[in-house]
Structure formats: structure tokens, C-alpha cells
């Protein structure tokens, strides 16, 4: 298999001033495409260290992607270091100078002289287009290794990798690529998932992996290309049968994307009424393009008065049962559905912490309600107290999962791993 290396550059990574998200993204992209990142190193803005890293990568890999150091400032050294490593000079690409001048002219500005540096690449280099930025990418070869130089700006880096570098790698790969299958789940712990799936016999060379990205867990199955299609399909079916109904996607579809697809299929509408999640349910939904076709209105009613004023929750119910209660959250959902005139409404009210809990309702206690044409479904859970943000994220996922389960004719209620059920019913 092709050996692929990554060199991340920049003092700001080594000092912790920024988090290198590009490397994690690249590793996952390559893995999904059937490749493997075999070696990764981070190097500061030092000429000698960069040259040494290029040499080492060229000796250990077939392809190396160098990320960062193509900017216009004095500490952007990747092109100069590559030229020094190759014992050659730099050349200026007139086509890139013209592009830069057009870029600034379109904004009624004159190109700064420092940007000319971004058109300089080693004499033996081949230009790799950057259609969304000012830094010119390039490719050089040495020791039978191809090195691709890319900008550190994530959007530019990802665009170049997806549109140009990855297709080039696929074209150069002569071996048959393994098949990749995935399941995105919510509600089960890694240990429980493993207990459910471990008894399944895998073909030789097949690998089953788990990746937690709270509040969801992704399961990946990699099967060698030599495995018969019938065996792969049988394996997929066996895994799916064991995981259903905790699987919300067999691709990369996020929970909110899945809900959106189901809502659009049915041609129905949704509103939300949130307290402890503070608009996170609505945020997840409207982060997906096209959500305006079904999502009508989101209420964030954090105070008791807001619940009364905006949703019509009776004061007596709040006084008698408390804001975090089944009667209140049901009234919130019904109020949102009625006022927004939608087919469905989701409501949340809980204690995200770190303060506010009690013996009866500890931090992590959250009430949920789903108002539907068939009535209101509600539950109260005590979620694991792993910090305010995570309580809100898990609460958001539970709310959307209730709607997903309803729309797919699955049991709306379940026992989520790590949670305690206080109430579930209609």
C-alpha cells in the first residue's frame, strides 16, 4: 500500500496557540478513501528543520503532504526550504502573479509587494492550483517521493486536497482498495456496542473500529477488496440488525441531516421550545442547508416568565411541578406547536449544571417532549453529569432522536447508556 506522510509546519502549532485540525481531517479523509497516513510530524518555522523533515519524509514515504508555510510573511519558509533541499533556486509564476493582481483589483486594492512571494516555487516544482486563496501550491519530487505543498488555511487546504491531491493519489494507486462501511449510532456506549458486535465473525483481514465523537459513536468496517460481495452484504446485514434502532445513518449524515431528510420526505413542519439547551436544538437543525423548508420557529424560553409569555405555559403548572417537569415541558411543546402552527414541536427543560441540582433533580436531569398529530410524548432522564456543554449536547441529541424514531416508526423511548429513566410515556 502507498505510504503517505504529513508534515505540519508552524511555530503556532508547537506552542499550542492553534490546534492542528488539518491533520485529523486529512487522516480521516485518507482512511475513508482506503489509504493510511503512515507518518506525521510537526516542524517549526526553521529552515534547517524543514529541510531535514523533507529529506526524512522522502526516504520513508511514497507521498508527503506538507501543510503550511506558504504565506507572504518572513516566517513562511516552505517554498524556500523545498528549494534549498532540492539544491535549486526559486521561480516566479507569472500566471500566479496575474491571478493575485486580479484578486486585489476586484476588491479595488493594489497587491502588496509581500504577496509576490506566494508566486514563488522551486525551479523543478509543478504548480498545484489553489482556487480559493492567494497561496500557490506546488509539487516537487525527490528520492522517488512526491511532495505536495499546501497552505495552512483549513478551507484552502481541504479544497486542494479533495479536488486535486486525493484524485491524483487514487490515480496512482494500483492495488484494489478495501471497502468501507459505516454506521453512526446514538444511545449506546462503546463497551455495549462491542459486546453486541464482538460475536459476529469477520472475514480474514476485515477490521471493525469504533470512534466516539460525543454524543454519537461511529462504527467503521473495513473489508479487503478480495472479500466476496455476498459476504460483505451478509456482514452488513448482521451488523445493522444488531444495532437497529440505534443507527441514525449508514453514511456521514449527521443526526440533524437525518431528521431533515425525514421531515422533507413527509412534507411536515417543526418548531422548538428550549430551556436548558438554549437554542442548540434549533442551531443543529438550521446548520443544515435547506432547513427552512420545514423548520418554522425556535423559542428559547429560559426563564419561567418567558415560558408563560411566549408559550402560554400556565403559571400554576410551573409553581406546582417546577420548570424541570413533565407537565411543564409538555406545555412548552404544545405551546410551540400551537403558536407556530407546525406539525411537530420539540421541547427541552433541564438542569445543565454545574449548579442548580437537588436530591430529587440532580444536575443532568432533563425533561423532553415531542408534540405530534398523535399527541404528546414525553420523558425525563438523568443524563451523565460530564459538564454543562456535554449535558446540553446529549440533550439536543435525545430530543432529535425522539423525533427521528417517531418518523421512522420505531419505539420513541429507549434506555440510553449511562442515563437513568425517571419517566417515559404519552
Set of cell numbers at residue 370: 415531542
pLDDT at 176: 76
Our count of domains for the chain comes to 3
Q: Considering only CA atoms, which of 326, 190, 329 is closest in space to residue 246?
A: 190
pLDDT at 225: 87
Residue span of the structural domain in which 188 resides: 179-249
pLDDT at 58: 98
Helices (H), 244-387: 255-266, 280-286, 304-311, 315-321, 326-340
In the listed set 193, 214, 249, which residue is the last one of a domain according to the structure?
249
> Do 186 and 268 lie in a common domain?
no
- CATH number for the domain harbouring residue 210: 3.30.70.2860
> Do 219 and 324 lie in a common domain?
no
> Do 315 and 268 lie in a common domain?
yes
> Do 158 and 183 lie in a common domain?
no
In the listed set 116, 141, 172, which residue is the last one of a domain according to the structure?
172
Say whether 346 sits in a helix, a strand or coil: strand
> Do 345 and 245 lie in a common domain?
no
> Do 342 and 323 lie in a common domain?
yes
> Do 267 and 383 lie in a common domain?
yes
> Do 294 and 398 lie in a common domain?
yes
> Do 271 and 405 lie in a common domain?
yes
User: Mean pLDDT of successive 10-residue segments in the chain (426 residues)?
Assistant: 95 96 96 93 98 98 98 97 98 97 95 96 98 97 98 98 96 83 96 95 92 93 90 93 95 95 98 98 98 98 98 98 98 99 99 91 97 98 94 98 98 95 96
> Do 327 and 404 lie in a common domain?
yes
> Do 70 and 36 lie in a common domain?
yes
> Do 191 and 307 lie in a common domain?
no
Task: Give yes or no for a contact between 272 and 346, defined as CB atoms under 8 angstroms apart.
Answer: yes
Amino acid at each position: 500500500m502507498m505510504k503517505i506522510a504529513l508534515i505540519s509546519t508552524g511555530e503556532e502549532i508547537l506552542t499550542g496557540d492553534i490546534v492542528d485540525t488539518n491533520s485529523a481531517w486529512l487522516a480521516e479523509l485518507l482512511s475513508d478513501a482506503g489509504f493510511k497516513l503512515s507518518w506525521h510530524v510537526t516542524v517549526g518555522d526553521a529552515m534547517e528543520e524543514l529541510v531535514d523533515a523533507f529529506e526524512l519524509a522522502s526516504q520513508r514515504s511514497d507521498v508527503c503532504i506538507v501543510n503550511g508555510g506558504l504565506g507572504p510573511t518572513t516566517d513562511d519558509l516552505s517554498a524556500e526550504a523545498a528549494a534549498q533541499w532540492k539544491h535549486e533556486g526559486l521561480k516566479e509564476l507569472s500566471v500566479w502573479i496575474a491571478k493575485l493582481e486580479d484578486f486585489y483589483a476586484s476588491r479595488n486594492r493594489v497587491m502588496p509587494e509581500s504577496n509576490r512571494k506566494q508566486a514563488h516555487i522551486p525551479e523543478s516544482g509543478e504548480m498545484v492550483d489553489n482556487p480559493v486563496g492567494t497561496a500557490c501550491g506546488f509539487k516537487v519530487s525527490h528520492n522517488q517521493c512526491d511532495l505536495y505543498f499546501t497552505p495552512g488555511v483549513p478551507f484552502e487546504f481541504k479544497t486542494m486536497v479533495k479536488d486535486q491531491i486525493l484524485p491524483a493519489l487514487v490515480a496512482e494507486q494500483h492495488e484494489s482498495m478495501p471497502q468501507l462501511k459505516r454506521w453512526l449510532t446514538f444511545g449506546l456506549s462503546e463497551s455495549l456496542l462491542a459486546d453486541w458486535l464482538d460475536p459476529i465473525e469477520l472475514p480474514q483481514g476485515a477490521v471493525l473500529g469504533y470512534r466516539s465523537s460525543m454524543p454519537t459513536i461511529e462504527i467503521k468496517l473495513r473489508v479487503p477488496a478480495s472479500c466476496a460481495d455476498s459476504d460483505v452484504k451478509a456482514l452488513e446485514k448482521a451488523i445493522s440488525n444488531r444495532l437497529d434502532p440505534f443507527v441514525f445513518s449508514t453514511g456521514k449524515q449527521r443526526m440533524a441531516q437525518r431528521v431533515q431528510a425525514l421531515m422533507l420526505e413527509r412534507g411536515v413542519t417543526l418548531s422548538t421550545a428550549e430551556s436548558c439547551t438554549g437554542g442548540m436544538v434549533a442551531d443543529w437543525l438550521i446548520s443544515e442547508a435547506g432547513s427552512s423548508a420545514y423548520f418554522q420557529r425556535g423559542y428559547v424560553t429560559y426563564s419561567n416568565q418567558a415560558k408563560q409569555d411566549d408559550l402560554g405555559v400556565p403559571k400554576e403548572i410551573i409553581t406546582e411541578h417546577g420548570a424541570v417537569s413533565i407537565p411543564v415541558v409538555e406545555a412548552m411543546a404544545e405551546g410551540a406547536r400551537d403558536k407556530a402552527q407546525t406539525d411537530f414541536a420539540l421541547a427541552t427543560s433541564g438542569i445543565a449544571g454545574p449548579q442548580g441540582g437537588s436530591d430529587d433533580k440532580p444536575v443532568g436531569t432533563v425533561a423532553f417532549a415531542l408534540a405530534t398529530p398523535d399527541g404528546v410524548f414525553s420523558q425525563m432522564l438523568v443524563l451523565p453529569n460530564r459538564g454543562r456543554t456535554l449535558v446540553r449536547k446529549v440533550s439536543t441529541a435525545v430530543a432529535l432522536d425522539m423525533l427521528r424514531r417517531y418518523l421512522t416508526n420505531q419505539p420513541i423511548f429507549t434506555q440510553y447508556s449511562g442515563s437513568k429513566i425517571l419517566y417515559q410515556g404519552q
